[in-house]
């Protein structure tokens, strides 16, 4: 009789784990497929290039996921800023003069 009670308890626990495990997996999959790639990755409201005030952009060139910005300033040398459009951050700056 004791073995039967232990077996019933084990079956109950395993059923509980199977049911709630499946519900958890289905919920996670439904949540992952419900979102589009654009909804998961929203661009920030503002992005800083790290340049001083008064810098001007003379030219912008796009190549793949990068933007190349030619900037000028009266105080410093001209620069080419490389900006990653997927991560929304400045990758590098190249001084020209």
β-partners of residue 93 are 81
Ranges of beta strands (E only) in the chain are 56-63, 66-72, 79-84, 89-95
Cβ contact 24:41 at 8 Å: no
Query: Structure pTM?
Result: 0.54
pLDDT reported for residue 54? 82
| Distance in angstroms (rounded) separating the CA atoms of residues 24 and 47 | 37
Going by pLDDT thresholds of 50, 70 and 90, the confidence category of residue 37 is low
């Amino acid at each position: 009789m004791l073995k039967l009670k232990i077996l019933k308890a084990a079956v109950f626990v395993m059923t509980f784990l199977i049911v709630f495990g499946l519900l958890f997996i289905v919920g996670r999959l439904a949540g992952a497929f419900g979102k589009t790639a654009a909804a998961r990755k929203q661009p920030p409201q503002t992005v800083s290039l790290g340049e001083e005030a008064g810098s001007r952009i003379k030219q912008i060139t796009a190549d793949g996921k990068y933007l190349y910005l030619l900037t000028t300033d009266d105080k410093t040398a001209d620069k080419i800023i490389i900006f990653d459009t997927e991560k929304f951050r400045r990758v590098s700056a190249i001084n020209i003069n």
